[in-house]
Amino acid sequence: MATHKLLLLAGDGIGPEVMAEVKRVIAYLEEAGLASFAIEEDLVGGCAYDAHKVAITDAAMDRAKAADAVMLAAVGGPKWADVPYEARPEAGLLRLRKDLALFANLRPAICYPALADASSLKREVVEGLDLLIVRELTGGVYFGEPKTITDLGNGQKRAIDTQVYETYEIERIARVAFDLARTRRNKVTSSEKHNVMRSGVLWKEVVTQVHDREYKDVELEHNLADSLAMQLVRWPKQYDVIVTDNLFGDILSDIAAMLTGSLGMLPSASLGAVDEKTGKRSAMYEPVHGSAPDIAGKGLANPIAMIGSLGMAMRYSFNQGEVADRIDAAIAKVLADGKRTADIAPKGTPTVGTQEMGTAIIEAMQSVA
Ligand code: NAD
């Protein structure tokens, strides 16, 4: 059995608490002979600043590059509000994304039947929802130049952000989306605004070409981003994989996140290109939530997003979809059995803590085989 080299970066706030549950799941997977890991750990974020005066050390970056995948919990908190800008906790996260060249961000939105009532939408609209947003993460208007504010000298200023995409950037993100669709329900919805943006015209053209050349077996449709936002809250179950740029992806993935009820439930993955020599794809897995300083250290954090992130690593980095399915089924079972951390419990109902939720998921993994 292949040994997966995993770097764990627990970070700040509730990070170490939810990562502790991932370590217990890893220990269970090894004991049960389902997977084999070589684990390393390091610091990122505020804790790295406290120890080394940087948000992530070069040594930790080297470990991240050498690993098969990185798992990060969360960084940041009020304690580090006044540290130098370049050493702020988020700088560690940004360096990881940049140096590992993680251009594809995968954000699944899954609504477990047991939690359908936690969504702001009606049960029948969200129950059983399972869609995946593939967001381009390293290009587009957040990075394009020029990016300036100019004083026009007449009491006015002009601000410019530039939306730029080149063919190769659209081709590689489209391939990620089509490849993923093939492992799911075989449908891709590509989203841009070709009616008003030149970058949207190129996006649509390139996605269509990649489809016609390499992925004819996958169903492809195009939705304008504004219309897609509307459809996401009207009838989200019509979607399987949605592929879109950095800006629209940022917004659409947050809309999709809220369909499912709670931040504590949502894993994510960021993938780089496949290295032609080693066949290895750099990858980082992390929950969507932050370090939740308001509940840190209290044993209240929901570990499901973090454990779900391990599931994504098993599926997308380690080709062990059956283990990922088992993790997902265990989470669904625990929820169906009525176990709730405080963030997903209806007011006045009993709750469990972080460790108890972790234990319940591990026990469920044994029975859902
Ligand atoms: P947050 O996600 O940390 O918390 C928002 C709310 O959701 C809080 O009430 C929190 O208690 C709750 N929450 C979040 N995760 C939870 C979990 N697993 N279980 C139970 N409840 C949970 O966002 P925020 O409060 O805006 O930010 C707090 C800090 O986290 C800031 O320093 C911010 O910069 C940082 N942050 C980091 C990341 C990251 O590391 N990727 C992402 C977002 C925010």
pLDDT tens track, the chain, 369 positions: 899 999 999 999 999 999 999 999 999 999 999 999 999 999 999 999 999 999 999 999 999 999 999 999 999 999 999 999 999 999 999 899 989 999 999 999 999 888 888 888 999 999 989 999 999 999 999 889 999 999 999 999 999 999 999 999 999 999 999 999 998 999 999 999 999 999 999 999 999 999 999 999 999 999 999 999 999 999 999 999 999 999 999 999 989 988 887 778 899 999 998 888 888 899 999 999 999 999 999 999 999 999 999 999 999 999 999 999 999 999 999 999 999 999 988 889 999 999 999 999 999 999 986
Q: What is the pLDDT of residue 189?
A: 98
157: left (phi > 0), else alpha (psi -120 to 50), else beta?
beta
Question: What's the gap in Å between 76 CA and the centre of ligand 1?
Answer: 9
Q: What is the pLDDT of residue 287?
A: 96
pTM of the full predicted structure?
0.92
Question: Considering only CA atoms, which residue is closest to atom 11 of ligand 1?
Answer: 292
Question: 292: Cβ below 6 Å to ligand 1?
Answer: yes
Active site residues: 142, 193, 226, 250, 254
Question: What's the gap in Å between 177 CA and the centre of ligand 1?
Answer: 28
Q: In whole angstroms, how far apart are CA 85 and each of 54, 57, 77, 88, 90?
A: 10, 16, 14, 5, 9
For residue 251, how many other CB atoms are within 10 A of its CB? 14
Residue 356 and residue 315 in contact, taking contact as beta carbons nearer than 8 Å: no
Question: 265: Cβ below 6 Å to ligand 1?
Answer: no
Residue 148's SS3 state is: strand
Residue with tokens 């972080």: 354
Q: Domains plus CATH for the chain?
A: 1-105+273-369 (3.40.718.10), 130-259 (3.40.718.10)
Question: What's the gap in Å between 91 CA and the centre of ligand 1?
Answer: 16
Q: What is the pLDDT of residue 291?
A: 97
Nearest atom, ligand 1, residue 289 CA: 2
Residue 4 and residue 68 in contact, taking contact as beta carbons nearer than 8 Å: yes
Rounded distance between C-alpha atoms, residue 368 and residue 350, angstroms: 24
Rounded distance between C-alpha atoms, residue 301 and residue 293, angstroms: 10
Question: What's the gap in Å between 292 CA and the centre of ligand 1?
Answer: 4
Question: 45: Cβ below 6 Å to ligand 1?
Answer: no
Q: What is the pLDDT of residue 350?
A: 94
Question: What's the gap in Å between 322 CA and the centre of ligand 1?
Answer: 30
Which of 237, 224, 227 lies closest to 190, judged by CA? Answer: 224
Question: 301: Cβ below 6 Å to ligand 1?
Answer: yes
Nearest atom, ligand 1, residue 342 CA: 20
- Cα atoms in the 13 Å half-sphere on the side-chain side of 196: 4
Question: Considering only CA atoms, which residue is closest to atom 38 of ligand 1?
Answer: 290
Q: What is the pLDDT of residue 165?
A: 98
Question: Considering only CA atoms, which residue is closest to atom 5 of ligand 1?
Answer: 292
For 191-203, letters b (16+ CB in 10 Å) and e give bbbbeebebbebb
Rounded distance between C-alpha atoms, residue 55 and residue 76, angstroms: 10
Chain centroid offset of residue 4 CA? 20
**In a mutational test of the pocket of ligand 1, which residue from 14, 75, 291 has the highest number of ligand atoms less than 8 Å from its CB?**
291
